[in-house]
Chains A and B, each alone.
Chain A
Amino acid sequence: MIDWKKILIPVSAIVILLLLWELLVWVMGWPDYKMASPSDLWPAFLRYQELFWLYGWQTLWRTVVGLGVAVVFGTLLGMIMGLSKVMNDALYPLLVGFNAIPKATVVPVIALMFVGQHDFNTILMAFMISFFPIAVSVAIGLSTLEPEYRDILRSLGASRMTVFWKIALPKTLPEFFGALKVAVTLAFIGTNLVEIITPHGRGLGHLFQSAQTNSDFPLMFAVLLALAALGIVLYYAVVALEYIFAGWAVRTAH
């Protein structure tokens, strides 16, 4: 059975927010270049509908591919760090330093390194910005496994690999999905960063850029809203995956 309350409450919250926004702009009498109101956005959406779908798709698939690479790389890195104390000590400061570099400064660097490889650059940035939380959470999940869990299987002569597959890995899944929720938003930011800073005619970031160039303020706000909507879709896709693969942890929490 569908719990209508669960859908109705967040949807009403969105509607109320839009109404307040509309009211604020109307009361203050702001022109659309200061703050566009929701009623200005709809015409902008309709006028550029095809571009929204096309660019939205480009932003979406590059984010998902970047995130996918981050999941594979971050998990492997987390495994190495979680299972080896030496590797953890060696890699942790490097990772923290890498993560501390503002990614906006890296965009021109990779744009010069891989000139014209726009899809590749965008995916690379989405990956670079989002693998850190995944690696850290997997590493922590593996290294904080209580010794009793290990002993139960080790005392039966099970190999390290068996302990890893049967216990350590599934036990890390809740932490992994917690990190993935952070990573999915980061990857999305990474994609848009590249689309806006190095204009190459692709993605919602490009639509934002051209709206700015043409002083089409309602379109700029409409793009922001589309980005928010896409972000919500991506986030809840991760939540759905979490429910499928680590539903036992979600249910335990209640």
Chain B
Amino acid sequence: MENLIDIKGVTHAYKTKAGPFPVLRDLNIAIPQHSFCAVVGPSGCGKSTLTRLIAGLMFPDQGEVWLHGELVKSPRKTVGMAFQNPVLLEWRTILQNVILPLEIVAPSMPKAQKEARAKELLALVGLEGFENKRPSELSGGMRQRASLCRALVHKPDIIILDEPFGALDAFTREDLWQTMHQLRAKEPFTALLITHDLRESVYLGDQVVVLSGRPATTQYVMQVDVPGPRPLEMLYEPETVERLAVLRREIQIAQGRAVA
């Protein structure tokens, strides 16, 4: 299968007064179409830099980022993003927030069509009836659901999720994990998820990439061959526990607390 995203030998350093500050070194990640890639790694290892490179908001010093067979040279309309902070616009209703990307990507689309598309997604994530509420009237979990809808509304080739569930309580987080599987079943998409939560990476990812400490390189790749939508019970199966143990050890190596 053709890879939707190909990150090939990417090396990047930030320029600071004290000289170059390397964050990524010879990083390689391949994500097939409609597959879900979870990226884990120690704090501050350059995961957010990775998201900006894929979105075309930054360019690597060396190496290449390929998206849909094209070299990423500038921002493109085929990316959706969601962050730990849902960053909804307080002066817009939930529906108008979800529509926002369509205003940029498809300005000529009739308003009714934009709204129908947004409503369809909001219903999928269980926010039916909240279309005309303001973000401040919703709980943290609901705001994050709306943020996911906004990332998906323009049917992007890839959605980039930068720890979107990180600030939620454990139960809400598990709810949203299941929502992700339901969304993928209804409307397949390719995703790259940055996370600190190993259980989340195994439950959601078709592959889990472990990055080394800074400068980050691809240290370990685990395939999780479990078809979706996955039941929550998967988390308590022996295979999952084994996978978590392997990942836990890889993270310790990445942190420099264990030797390979």
Give, as a whole number of angstroms, the nearest-CB distance from A14 to chain B. Answer: 34
A240-252 vs B, Cβ < 8 Å mask (1 yes, 0 no): 0000001011011
Specify the chain A residue showing the minimal Cβ separation from B89: A167
* A152 and B134 contacting across the interface, CB-CB below 8 Å: no
Which residues 215-254 in A have Cβ within 8 Å of B in the complex? 246, 248-249, 251-252
CB of A181 within 8 Å of the partner chain: no
User: Which B residues lie within 8 Å of A251 (CB)?
Assistant: 134, 136
Interface residues on chain B, size class: 20 to 34
Chain B residues with Cβ under 8 A from A146's Cβ?
85, 87
**A171-B87 Cα distance, complex, nearest whole Å:** 11
Q: Does B205 contact A (CB under 8 A)?
A: no
Whole-angstrom distance from the CB of A223 to the nearest CB of chain B?
A: 41
CA distance A170 to B75 in the complex (A): 24
B77 at the binding interface (Cβ < 8 Å) = yes
Interface residue range, chain A: 20 to 34
Contact A155 B90 (CB under 8 A): no
Contact in complex: B81, A157 (CB < 8 Å)? no
CB distance from B89 to the nearest CB of A (A): 7
List, in ascending order, chain A residues with CB within 8 A of B55's CB: 151, 154-155
Q: Does B1 contact A (CB under 8 A)?
A: no
The one of A148, A155, A166, A249 in contact with B75, judged by C-beta atoms closer than 8 angstroms, is A155
Task: Tell me whether A156 and B57 are in contact (CB under 8 A).
Answer: no
The proximity string for B residues 152-180 relative to A, scoring 1 for CB distances below 8 Å and 0 otherwise, is: 00100000100000000000000000000
Give residues of chain B (62-116) contacting chain A, Cβ–Cβ below 8 Å: 74-77, 79, 81, 83, 85, 87, 89-91, 100-101, 103-105
Chain A interface residues toward B at CB < 8 A: 146, 148-149, 151-158, 162, 166-167, 170-171, 173, 246, 248-249, 251-252
Q: Interface of B with A (CB < 8 Å)? A: 52, 55-57, 74-77, 79, 81, 83, 85, 87, 89-91, 100-101, 103-105, 134, 136, 150, 154, 160
6 sampled A-B residue pairs with Cβ under 8 A: A155-B57, A155-B79, A155-B81, A156-B105, A166-B100, A249-B90
